[in-house]
Chain A
Amino acid sequence: MVAIGVLAATWGMAQDGQGKTTVLYDRESRYYRILVVEYETEKRLCLHFSKTRGIQSSMLIGDPVALDLRYCRTMVAGLALVPEAKDVLLVGLGGASLPKFIQKNFPDIRLDIVEIDPDVVKVCQKFFHFEGTPNTRVFVMDGRMYMKRAEKKYDVILLDAYAADHIPFHLTTAEFIRMVRDHLKPGGAVVSNLWEHGLNRFYFAELKTFQETFPQSYILPAGSSGNIIVFGSLDEPKVAADEWVRRAKAASADKDLGFDLPALVGQEYRYLKDQAIREKALTDDAAPVDTLRRENPKYFEEEAAKQP
């Protein structure tokens, strides 16, 4: 899980002497450099996969189950989009924010988690209060390999698999998103965390993939955090903002989520399916998400055209 924005600057700020930080864990794993950093002024514990790039996950030390990062709260809207979701899959464990939140607030959900790095799982257990429940399973493997092997179908699939600063290419392509779609139960939805397009020049290509793969698609920009959450749904009829808000109210009726989910949905709702996107979807054959090339000026035109 990677979020940028307010907290992303924290590390740099802290090093400039504006707050005290303690590095609790700093070790190379097979896939990443894993850093667990305590920000004492902010009373937060954060997971990093790099000293210089954004944070993967953030936990309030006083309230380890609360969703601290804005984008995680927005992803919860996916659990409301599919009423009575029972089987949920999360690809990319990060600091286990969403798993802990789901375990506490939706204990009936059968939660499967796919995480490539066994050390990330151990760090979550040791530092981020991640514990097992009878309804929680962790699969330590590549997300795409899991999709290929797994036969189970899910109501909601949450995609949040990031390396230090990008999604691995084989988890961005139309082929992969179709594999994910084929693991949905009827009416199910896929929820993906994307970086907005000022940070991610494949943003529109990734949106296009969702548009093309699902009968319905929506966007909830996670405030000004730099994360945009895209939703692809198998549910044919369009879910209007007020209907989603109603579902969010039903899903959070007798719960204290720690934030106002219906209000969040109401404020951020955008319909994606009928938006015109000129980009082509990424494919296994051509998904240059990790190549070093100059920005294509077209992307900036797109952004300029979107401004009111």
Chain B
Amino acid sequence: MIRVIVLAAVFVSGAALMSLEMAGFRLVQPEFGSDIIVWGSLISVFLGGLAAGAYLGGRIADLGPSLWGLALILALAGGVALLIPAYADAVLEWTFPGQGAPLPQEWESAGAAGHLQVYLPPDLRWPTLEAGLLLFLMPSLLLGMTSPYAARLLIRAIGRVGAGVGTISGISTVGAIAGTLGTTFYLITWMGTRWLMAANGLVLLGLGAVLGLAHLASRPQPT
């Protein structure tokens, strides 16, 4: 039973991560434009969060894994996701690229006569990374902790590490596919970007509560 709940948590955190990432593009694009740099920056932030989360999550799990700890991680991730819509506009405003009037730049006239006045765009790289870090580093870091923590919870014997890690990694990725397709095919249309982020937050908070209850239920009864 515990095993099923923990694997469900792995699935849902994979799904929520990708759902937040897909919705994140829709959140950022109106301010930063439809530029491949926006995609690159956000994907890098999510991968960075996952990497840091995996590193930290594994170490925290080794301190003494418990369902309670996993519940706390997911609930924190849910709380952060729930708050993103509330502070997203302020973050986007603050990191908006190239404040102020654009300046004319030298422009090679490509052989045509007549000098064309061309104004080049602001550099998007740092502003998009900055906005991405402020909005999505925390949730992706927390969700990245789930897999190593779950592995520590579920894998009892060193001889079962390969199968255990494989199962967890596979389930997490299938969850990520579900989150990606669900979000892009249906959920953004149905709920809109901001409600979808909040809904991810609520689901993660609910999951945290379920794990917390499972922790209480599975505690050895005092005799």
CB contact list, A268-308 vs B, under 8 A:
283-286, 288, 291-293
Q: Is the CB of A149 within 8 A of B98?
A: yes
Comparing B50-58, B62-70, B115-123, the segment that makes contact with chain A is B115-123
Nearest-neighbor residue (CB-CB) of B104 within chain A: A137
Check A288 against B35 for contact (C-beta < 8 Å): no
Q: How far is the CA of A137 from the CA of B120 in the complex (A)?
A: 11
Chain B contacts for A169, CB-based, 8 A: 26, 29
Smallest Cβ distance from A101 to chain B, in angstroms?
A: 16
In the complex, which range does the number of interface residues on chain A fall in?
Answer: 35 or more
CB of A139 within 8 A of CB of B102, answer yes
Q: Is A285's CB under 8 angstroms from B192's CB? A: yes
Query: 8 Å CB contacts to B: which residues of A127-179?
Result: 129-133, 136-145, 148-151, 163, 168-170, 173, 175-176
Question: Roughly how many angstroms separate A137 CA and B118 CA in the complex, as a whole number?
Answer: 6
Task: Give the distance in Å from the alpha carbon of A128 to the alpha carbon of B195 in the complex.
Answer: 46
- The answer on a CB contact under 8 Å between A149 and B100 is yes
Bound-complex Cα distance A286 to B121 (A): 27
A142:B33 contact, CB within 8 angstroms:
yes
Neighbouring B residues of A148 by C-beta, 8 Å = 31, 96
From A130, A145, A293, give the contact of B189 (CB < 8 A): A293
Per-position 1/0 for B187-214, Cβ under 8 A of A: 0110111110000000000000000000
In the bound complex, how far is the Cα of B113 from the Cα of A130, in angstroms? 9
Which of B31, B111, B195 counts the most A-chain CB atoms under 10 A from its CB? B31
**Are B116's CB and A170's CB within 8 A?**
no
**Bound: A143/B32 CA distance, A:** 10
Contact digits for B166-206, partner A, Cβ 8 Å, 1 yes 0 no = 00000000000000000011101101111100000000000
Q: Kindly list chain B residues whose C-beta atoms are within 8 Å of the C-beta of A150.
A: 101
Alpha-carbon separation in the docked complex, A130 to B112 (Å): 8
Report B95 CB to chain A, min CB distance, Å: 13
Question: Complex: how many Å from CA A284 to CA B192?
Answer: 8
Q: Mark B72-109, 1 if CB is under 8 A from A, else 0.
A: 00000000000000000000000011111110100011
Q: Are A285 and B194 in contact (CB under 8 A)?
A: yes
Main secondary structure of the interface of A (DSSP, over half): loop
| Chain B residue contacts of A140, Cβ below 8 A | 118-121
Q: How far is the CA of A57 from the CA of B101 in the complex (A)?
A: 30
- What is the bound-complex CA distance between A150 and B101, given in angstroms? 7
Residue among A139, A142, A175 making CB contact with B119, cutoff 8 Å? A139
Q: Are B30 and A173 in contact (CB-based, < 8 A)?
A: yes
Contacts of A139 in B (CB 8 A): 102, 118-119, 121
Among A115-123, A204-212, A215-223, A248-256, the stretch that binds chain B is A115-123
Q: Residue A259 at the B interface, CB < 8 A?
A: no
Chain B residue numbers with a CB within 8 Å of A143 are 33
Nearest B residue (CB) for A151:
B101
Identify which of A122, A142, A170 gathers the most chain B CB atoms within 10 Å of its CB: A142
* Chain B residues numbered 145-166 whose CB sits less than 8 Å from any CB in chain A: none
A148-B96, A284-B193 as given contacts; A132 in contact with B119, CB under 8 Å: no
Contacts of A118 in B (CB 8 A): 120
Give every chain B residue within 8 A of A131 (Cβ-Cβ).
112-114, 116
CB neighbours (8 Å) of A122 from chain B are: 108, 110
Asked if B192 and A170 make an inter-chain contact with CB atoms under 8 angstroms apart, the answer reads: no
Distance (whole angstroms) from the CB of B114 to the closest CB of chain A: 3
Q: Which residues of B contact A285 (CB under 8 A)?
A: 192-195
Judged by a CB distance under 8 angstroms, whether B36 is at the interface is yes
Return B130 CB to nearest CB of chain A, in Å.
16
Contacts of A144 in B (CB 8 A): 30-31, 33
State the 3 A-B residue pairs at the shortest beta-carbon distance, nearest first: A142-B33, A132-B116, A131-B114
Interface residues of A, Cβ cutoff 8 Å to B: 30-31, 116, 118, 121-122, 125-126, 129-133, 136-145, 148-151, 163, 168-170, 173, 175-176, 283-286, 288, 291-293
